[in-house]
Structure formats: C-alpha cells, structure tokens
Structure 1
Amino acid sequence: MKMRIRRADPAGNITIFVMDQAERKDYAAISRQLLVREDLGAEQVGFVEKNADGTTHMQMMGGEFCGNATRSFGYLMSMLSEEKPEEITVDVSGSAELLKAEVDLDKGTSRTQMPLPQDIVTLPPIQGEQYKMVVFEGVCHIIVEDAPKSQEFVNEVIAEAEKILDCDAYGVMFLEGEKMTPVVYVRETGSMVWESSCGSGSMGAAVYLSREKDNGTYVYELHQPGGMIEATVEKKGGKTVQCKMGGPVEISEEMTVEITW
C-alpha cells in the first residue's frame, strides 16, 4: 500500500515521519522497509498518530524516546499549523509528560525540553574498564570516554547493560572532549545504527559531564558526524532540574512510498 512520509534531518540523524495511520503491530515491519532504502538514508522512523481527542502523538518505531525526533516533530507541527507557533507542546513516545519545543522556522532550528534523567548507574567491568549509564525513561545511554571502538565492543557493552536494566533502546556514546560518536540499538526493531547525531545521547553526555556540578546552567556543544547539537543542563543542589537540547532541522515536502507487509 502507499503511505505518505516526510524526511526530517536534525543534524544528520535522518528521521522518517510516517504521516498515514497504521497498526502499531506493523510498525517494526514498516520501519525495516523504510530503513533499508538508500534513497531515504534514514536512521530511524517515527509514526504520527491521531489521539481520540484530536491531538497528535509521535510514536517511535520501537516505542523509545528520541530527542532529535521530538524536536523535529515539534518543528513539523509548527510548520503545518496556521499559527506557526514558536513554542509548541508535543506528545511523544518514551515520555510520560508532554514536552515543550521552541521552534524558529526562519532560522531552521528547534530546541526541545527533555525528560529528566532517572539515574546514573555503573556497569560491571568491561574489558577492564567501568562505564556509566545515564538512564532516561525510554532510553539508556552508556558513556565511553574514548575514541570509537569496534562493533564487538558495542555489542558487549549493550549486552551487559541489558542484564542490569530493561530499556526500549540503548546508546553507546563515544566521547572525546566535545566530539561525540553515537551508536543506538532499538530492541523492538533489532536495529543497530552508528548515527550521524543523537539528541537523547547528547543529553545523556551532558548529564554525565555535569554529574559532579552543584548549582548553575551548563551548556555543551557536542560535535557529531552529522553536525553539532547543543545540550543544556540546569542543576540545583547537585540535582538536575531541567534539560534542553537543540540544533538545526530540515523537513522535506510530503512524498509517497510503497509499503508491503
């Protein structure tokens, strides 16, 4: 069948929004078909759903939370509305609360409020090293302060993380100063992607880097293969009280693709 989609580019983390309604049980099969298309070059898929009350919800392909998809969804909703609001509330998977996105259509940017971290846990030793995992609702990110390692290393780290905590998605963020290389595994679809950029991973890195800070606002510019993402952490009494993440966004015109399942 034919489905309408839009291609979003938030700092290279190409996200396909499926605009037509489908059953959630079919999301994984639809996503796999979209992810293998070289002409789309997508790293993830989000489904735009209509709630019973007429509002709109964005459901990621594995039910996970994604920061780049969230801010792109906010940009899309502002772009499609008559009012073109600069601040818009979004309803997305992996977040129990509605989130606010700040959109500048003229500059082509979007910044979103992010869920607060639930915890920072320490993984058991892996190849003689211990790593921290920043836990959010819907996604867990392991921070590795080193140059990118092998896929085998990534697999081992994620396998250890799965033993400790059940998450919809796991990221391994290789962090070298302000340079970050993200890898994300989504359990529902079985997809493992070395991403061009990762919004929630950027937030995880910022939370990790500010973990010993007490009071203040801390801004981190994280340069990734597809572009730069700015992540901001506000802390009071050593506790993270607000997280925001943003950067450039481009969204294509609507197009139609053929999907079978």
Structure 2
Amino acid sequence: MKQMIDFVKCNPTQNMTILINTMLPRDEHKRIASKIMSYDNVYAEQVGFIEPTMNQEADAFLQMAGGEFCGNACMALAAFLANEHGLEHYETNEIRLEVSGAERLVTCLITKNREDFQCRVDMPLPEKIEQTVLHDDRFPIDMVVVKYKDFIHFVIEVERIDTDMKNNMLSLAKLIGPFLDTSMLGILLYNNITNHLTPLIYVHALNSAVWERGCGSGTASIGAYLAWKNKRNIETYIHQPGGTMLVKALYEQDRLTRLEIEGSVGIVAQGTAFIDTEVNLSAGEGIHEVSRV
C-alpha cells in the first residue's frame, strides 16, 4: 500500500528542504521523513511538517521531523506561504512562524525576486557560549560550545578540511550526539581567514547525520561566536558549499542581544510523494548520511 503525501521542495542555499503539507500524526513523522528524504524518493537533507497554529499572531506552525529548530526550513516555509498568498515581484511581507525547538515566534521578512525569494530571519539567541576542550582518544579538540535551549553547536576553527577530518567529526557526532539532552547537534568547521563554514548536522531522533550544503542555524551560531569572541557587533557573509548567507549579530553590554540571518530560497518542486505504509527502519534505514562537500 502507498500513502500519498503532499509536499513542496525548497532550496535555501542548497540545503534541500522538503515541507510536508499533509496533516499526519506526530508519531508518523520519523517514518515519513526517513523515506521521503531518501535517494529513491523525493530526496533532501531535511523534512519539516506544516501544521496549523493555535497562536493568533502566527501564520503557521513548522514541526521539524526530529523536533529540532531549523533556520533554513523557516526560510523555506516563509517562501512557500508568500508564494501561496500571491506575493508580487519585489514586494516584501512579514511572516511569523511557530517552530519546533524555538520558544518564541520566528519573524521572517520575505521578498519575492524575479526567480527566487530573499528572506531575513530573526533567529533564537543562544543561552550560553563558552570555550572548552574535548579530549578525544587521538588528540584534544579546542572548540566553542554555542548552546541553545533545544540544540547545540560546536564551533571548531580549522585551516583545511580533508576526508580524515570529516570522518573523525562524523564519528564524534555519532558518539556523543545520542547522550546530549538536545534535539540536534551541529559540528561547525569554520575557517576564519576565508569565512568558510562546513556544517555537519546530527539529529538523533532521525538517526540522521548530514554534511549540509548550507546551514541557517549554523550561520547564526558563527555570527554569535564571532560577536562573543570579538566583543562587538558582527555583520559578515558566511561562505558555505551551497552558497553564501549573511549574518548580523548585535553585541551590547557584554551580551548578545539580536541575531539575524539572510539568504535566498527557491521553490523547486511541488506535488505528491508516494510512501510505503509500512517501513522497517531497523532493518533498512540506518544512519542517513549525505556527504557532498
């Protein structure tokens, strides 16, 4: 038996995102997401579910498949809603979203360009930023921990990235990710000379580890890290394998007070996906890995 699922596929900085527009029970999200993001189905790096909101100030509720927060998925949903509402070329609209993993509403300013959308997102602020050293079996790893209420990022400054480093980071995420009291772990390999970010995102609930082409929350965390490190406001472009995003971080009275990211998003496909009604995850799925960097 096949289950029909309405979806839209979006491209925020090549962080390919599927939004499900069919109402489904929350306990079905993991199964549906694992199947629809696979290579033999629609294929993407992440999946979010569009749900109605009970908050009169919000336009929609975005529930990510692993319960995590995702800035790029917010951009994708804002673009989809703006397109559905008939936003005209070069017109700007404000869209407010309830999002899993975020305590407050997320505000998105969306502008329709000729071929895609430009979106600025007011991002959640981290609860804590601190320097630490992780004592690995092979060597110590200097990192900065950027901790949010429901997810955590490790910022590691690097000069170059090779296959061995990526494999070590993937092993690290799989090793410690399941033991963190968060929905998502990000390992952000950052070159401060070239302003280049290579993000690995691990979501334990989905058994998913992805070297993302672009990461909105990771971009925000780099901005937060730079503001914390330099004790000043930051506005800079962060280059990633899939493109470039802008981050703005306001730092006032020895603390971070505002965090925004901005990037482009395109709507690349919309239609119906066909999903098997029964999938044996333990036998067939395993870790979902995408490594195209």
- SS for the counterpart of 1:72 is helix
Deviations 1:170-194 (A, max 9, x none): 0111111211111100011010001
* CA distance in structure 2 between the partners assigned to 1:154 and 1:81 by the alignment: 41
Equivalent residue for 1:125?
Answer: 135
Match of 1:246 among 262, 276, 292: 262
| Structure 2 residue identity aligned to 1:180 | L
Q: CA deviation at 1:229?
A: 1.1
Equivalent residue for 2:202?
Answer: 185
| Structure 2 residue identity aligned to 1:218 | I
- SS for the counterpart of 1:129 is strand
| Structure 2 residue identity aligned to 1:256 | T
Match of 2:18 among 16, 23, 26: 16
Where has structure 1 moved over 6 Å in runs of 4 or more? none
Q: CA deviation at 1:17?
A: 0.3
Q: How many positions carry a matched residue from both structures?
A: 259
**Farther off after superposition, 45-54 or 217-226:** 45-54
* CA distance in structure 2 between the partners assigned to 1:222 and 1:5 by the alignment: 29
* CA distance in structure 2 between the partners assigned to 1:240 and 1:53 by the alignment: 27
* CA distance in structure 1 between the partners assigned to 2:76 and 2:271 by the alignment: 17
Deviations 1:134-189 (A, max 9, x none): 112332111111133132333225634665x4110001111112111111000110
Match of 1:172 among 187, 191, 203: 187
Q: CA deviation at 1:104?
A: 0.7
Equivalent residue for 2:118?
Answer: 109
1:223 and 2:239 aligned: yes
Match of 1:150 among 151, 166, 172: 166
Contact 1:119 1:135 in 2 (8 A): yes
* CA distance in structure 2 between the partners assigned to 1:231 and 1:139 by the alignment: 19
Equivalent residue for 1:33?
Answer: 35
What value does the CA root-mean-square deviation take over the aligned residues? 2.0
* CA distance in structure 1 between the partners assigned to 2:169 and 2:103 by the alignment: 32
- SS for the counterpart of 2:229 is coil
Match of 1:57 among 38, 57, 61: 61
Contact 1:13 1:196 in 2 (8 A): yes
* CA distance in structure 1 between the partners assigned to 2:214 and 2:203 by the alignment: 15
**Farther off after superposition, 51-60 or 233-242:** 51-60
* CA distance in structure 1 between the partners assigned to 2:178 and 2:28 by the alignment: 25
TM-score by structure 2 length? 0.82
Equivalent residue for 1:69?
Answer: 73
Change (3 A) 1:22 1:179: same
**Farther off after superposition, 26-35 or 38-47:** 38-47
Equivalent residue for 2:7?
Answer: 5
Contact 2:12 2:265 in 1 (8 A): yes
Equivalent residue for 1:198?
Answer: 215
Contact 2:226 2:234 in 1 (8 A): no
Equivalent residue for 2:289?
Answer: none
